[in-house]
């Protein structure tokens, strides 16, 4: 008997039960054999195989010993199926319990992962806010330092005097020969301007232009002073009759006021908005700068012996009208050179910067 035939019970092939008698088996065989006989199923290639299996089952069931063995085997199979069915029920319960535990475990792990992710996100948010706050503080610190640096640079630039130009001590005189017939030589011009201070007599240049029709003959002279303060005093006295310059026009040879004069005015040494009043204590700074010498030179010019009060600068011009720039009187106070002044102002600016930093640090600690 083949494996496929063993898999199918002989009782099932004949359509009878385990309690069927031999007569019932024979009757069932005759009925089935008529249906599956090859002569009646010529077109069915499986008819011979089915008929052969039917005969095998019929012979087995008619043999008492073989039928007893078959019945015992069937009882064992049924008992096994029953036992397996019970096992399947227990296994199913165990599987359901395990699946329930696994679902609970997965849910607990998912909740734990979710909480951990929330903690991570919160930490990242706090770290990002801290990073942004640190960047803002760093930018603010850099901005404040840049502002302090710019302020210090501005203070230094304001405190540092500009350099003395080649024409800063030279003035231009314009006059008519009819009104000033004696001003025809460098010596006469030097003598006229000696009241303001010493001049470079050897470098005085005079130009006498021919008179146009119906106009007086005019003269022009370039006079270099040794001190810029003396040159400034002569420009301020231009056209003043009391100084003997009624018909003499004096201006700067460069066409504009020297930068050093503007700086001195700004620092309050030659009048202007920062100038001290005449009754206040004068600033201990001399404005006299030797010609062709840097303004930051520590050497301080001294007037030569026998020079007039205008030889050093700044000093008050007693008879100038109110339209002339106010000049702080410092003739009675010993002067300081520009280098000392600059160092003093730089030290003051550095002290103010340190005080600002200390106040800012105390404010941050509060």
Residue 309 lies in a domain: yes
State the average pLDDT over residues 340-359: 77
Same domain, 178 and 327: yes
Last residue of a domain, one of 38, 62, 86: 62
Same domain, 56 and 181: no
Range(s) of the domain holding residue 201:
170-335
State the average pLDDT over residues 164-184: 83
Residue 257 lies in a domain: yes
Same domain, 181 and 58: no
Integer CA distances (angstroms), 10 to 18, 54, 71, 323, in order: 10, 8, 11, 146
Q: Model confidence at 81, in pLDDT bands (50, 70, 90)?
A: confident
Same domain, 191 and 309: yes
Q: Model confidence at 216, in pLDDT bands (50, 70, 90)?
A: low
Q: What pLDDT score does 143 carry? A: 93
Q: What number of other Cβ atoms are within 10 A of residue 292's Cβ?
A: 13
Sign of CA dihedral 173, 176, 181, 184: positive
| Mean pLDDT for all residues in the chain | 76
DSSP-derived pairing of the beta strands 249-252 and 218-224 = unpaired
Q: Model confidence at 252, in pLDDT bands (50, 70, 90)?
A: very high
Ranges 140-149, 273-282, 326-335: which has the least confidence: 326-335
State the average pLDDT over residues 39-62: 86
Produce one character per residue of 295-318: b if its CB has 16 or more CB atoms within 10 Å, e if not: bbeeebbebeeebeebbbbbbebe
- Which of 106, 4, 112 lies closest to 50, judged by CA? 4
Same domain, 58 and 174: no
Q: What pLDDT score does 214 carry? A: 61
Residue 140 lies in a domain: no
Residue 229 or residue 6, greater confidence: 229
| CA angle 36–39–44, rounded 5-degree value | 60
- Which of 175, 179, 206 lies closest to 190, judged by CA? 206
Ranges 56-65, 185-194, 283-292: which has the least confidence: 283-292
| Helices and strands in the chain: count of H runs, count of E runs | 9, 4
Residue 250 lies in a domain: yes
Q: What pLDDT score does 339 carry? A: 64
Residue 190 lies in a domain: yes
Residue 187 lies in a domain: yes
Q: What pLDDT score does 257 carry? A: 85
Say what percent of the chain tops pLDDT 70.
Answer: 76
Residue 358 lies in a domain: no
Q: What pLDDT score does 109 carry? A: 92
Cβ-Cβ contacts under 8 Å for 124 (sequence gap 6 or more): none
- Which of 65, 62, 55 lies closest to 24, judged by CA? 62
Per DSSP, what are the bridge partners of residue 134? none
Last residue of a domain, one of 16, 40, 62: 62
Q: Model confidence at 102, in pLDDT bands (50, 70, 90)?
A: very high
Say what percent of the chain tops pLDDT 90.
Answer: 17
Three-class secondary structure of residue 205 per DSSP = strand
Residue 240 or residue 323, greater confidence: 240
Look-up of token digits 């030797």:
290
Q: What pLDDT score does 352 carry? A: 82
Residue 38 lies in a domain: yes
Q: Model confidence at 128, in pLDDT bands (50, 70, 90)?
A: very high
Is residue 322's pLDDT more than 50?
no
Q: What number of other Cβ atoms are within 10 A of residue 207's Cβ?
A: 9
State the average pLDDT over residues 316-342: 44
Domain CATH number, residue 27: 1.10.287.110
Domain CATH number, residue 328: 3.30.70.330
Is residue 307's pLDDT more than 90?
no
Give the pair of three-digit tokens for residue 304. 């030569």
Three-class secondary structure of residue 358 per DSSP = helix
- Which of 49, 274, 265, 294 lies closest to 165, judged by CA? 294
Count up the domains in the chain and report the number: 2
Q: What pLDDT score does 279 carry? A: 35
Same domain, 325 and 187: yes
Cβ-Cβ contacts under 8 Å for 272 (sequence gap 6 or more): 265, 266, 325, 326
Q: Model confidence at 270, in pLDDT bands (50, 70, 90)?
A: low
Is residue 54's pLDDT more than 70?
yes
Is residue 17's pLDDT more than 90?
no
pTM of the model: 0.39
Is residue 332's pLDDT more than 60?
no
Q: What pLDDT score does 313 carry? A: 41
Q: Model confidence at 338, in pLDDT bands (50, 70, 90)?
A: low
Q: What pLDDT score does 111 carry? A: 94
Is residue 324's pLDDT more than 50?
no
Q: Model confidence at 7, in pLDDT bands (50, 70, 90)?
A: low
Same domain, 187 and 51: no
Last residue of a domain, one of 62, 82, 105: 62
Q: Model confidence at 325, in pLDDT bands (50, 70, 90)?
A: very low
Same domain, 186 and 322: yes
What is the rounded CA–CA span in Å between residue 56 and residue 83?
A: 31
Q: What number of other Cβ atoms are within 10 A of residue 285's Cβ?
A: 21
């Amino acid at each position: 008997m083949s494996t496929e035939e063993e898999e199918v019970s002989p009782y099932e092939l004949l359509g009878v039960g385990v309690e069927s008698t031999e007569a019932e088996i024979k009757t069932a065989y005759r009925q089935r054999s008529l249906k599956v006989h090859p002569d009646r199923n010529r077109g069915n290639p499986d008819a011979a195989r089915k008929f052969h299996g039917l005969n095998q089952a019929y012979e087995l069931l008619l043999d008492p010993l073989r039928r007893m063995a078959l019945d015992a085997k069937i009882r064992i199979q049924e008992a096994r199926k029953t036992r397996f069915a019970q096992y399947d029920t227990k296994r199913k319960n165990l599987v359901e319990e395990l699946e329930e535990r696994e679902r609970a475990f997965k849910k607990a792990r998912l909740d734990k992962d979710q909480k951990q992710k929330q903690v991570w996100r919160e930490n990242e948010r706090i770290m990002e806010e801290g990073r942004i706050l640190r960047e803002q503080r760093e930018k603010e610190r850099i901005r404040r330092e840049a502002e302090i640096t710019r302020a210090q640079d501005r203070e230094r630039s304001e405190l540092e005097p500009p350099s003395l130009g080649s024409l800063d001590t030279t003035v231009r005189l314009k006059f008519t020969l009819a009104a000033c017939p004696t001003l025809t030589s460098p010596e006469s011009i030097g003598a006229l301007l000696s009241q303001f201070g010493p001049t470079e007599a050897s470098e005085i240049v005079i130009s006498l232009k021919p008179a146009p029709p119906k106009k007086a003959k005019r003269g022009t002279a370039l006079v270099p002073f040794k001190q810029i303060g003396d040159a400034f005093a002569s420009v301020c006295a231009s056209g003043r009759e009391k100084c003997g310059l009624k018909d003499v026009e004096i201006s700067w040879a460069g066409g504009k006021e020297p930068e050093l004069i503007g700086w001195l005015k700004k620092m309050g040494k030659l009048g202007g908005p920062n100038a001290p009043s005449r009754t206040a204590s004068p600033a201990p700074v001399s404005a006299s700068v030797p010609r062709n010498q840097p303004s930051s030179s520590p050497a301080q010019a001294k007037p030569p012996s026998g020079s007039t009060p205008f030889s050093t600068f700044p000093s008050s011009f007693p008879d100038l009208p109110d339209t002339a720039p106010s000049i702080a009187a410092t003739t009675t106070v010993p002067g300081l050179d520009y280098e000392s002044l600059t160092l003093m102002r730089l030290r003051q600016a550095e002290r103010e910067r340190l005080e600002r930093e200390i106040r800012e640090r105390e404010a941050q600690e509060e």
